[in-house]
Structure 1
């Protein structure tokens, strides 16, 4: 149930009749530009995701100095400290997201 040469020819003929042979190069050029822009935006979004994940794991939250975890000692205390730091990071990310949303909506 594929397209045969007759069906493809009819589709091309219909496109030529609808748009005309003079407008087809402009239409294909604008379609190519749109696809390039779309691909660039998608790549930028992926890069931003990777950068934000790296930033979360390496940067201190709200300018505070993050102490290194205790060498050995009580594992329960280490887990609680890691949980506290994760909550601070999450709160900071929520605040940044809210700030970005409010600045986007004001435009």
Structure 2
């Protein structure tokens, strides 16, 4: 997933984490992470469903 935005090293990841902590605060960070996980899972399910429908149409 991170390959899309290029090479992200440990310093860049630390910088992003610090910015996220400043913006959301440590109290809301677990809820933000949970929401991101749900969004990614929903995206994957929708993608898989579309691929299945395309395969049914082709076959």
**Shared fold per TM-score greater than 0.5:** yes
Change (3 A) 1:39 1:15: same
1:59-91 Cα offsets, whole Å, 9 max, x none, are: xxxxxxxxxxxxxxxxxxxxxxxxxxxxxxxxx
Q: Structure 2-normalised TM-score? A: 0.71
List, as ranges, runs of 4+ consecutive aligned residues in structure 1 with deviation greater than 6 Å. none
**Higher-helix-fraction structure:** 2
CA distance in 2, matches of 1:33, 1:4: 25
Change (3 A) 1:50 1:4: closer
Does structure 1 residue 46 correspond to structure 2 residue 51?
yes
Higher relative contact order (CA 8 A, sep 6+): 1
Size of the aligned set, in residue pairs, is 53
- Superposed, 1:39-78 pairs within 5 Å as 39-54=44-59
State the Cα distance separating 1:53 from its structure 2 match.
1.5
The structure whose Rg is larger is 1
For structure 1, the 5+ residue unaligned runs are 55-107
Q: Structure 1-normalised TM-score? A: 0.42
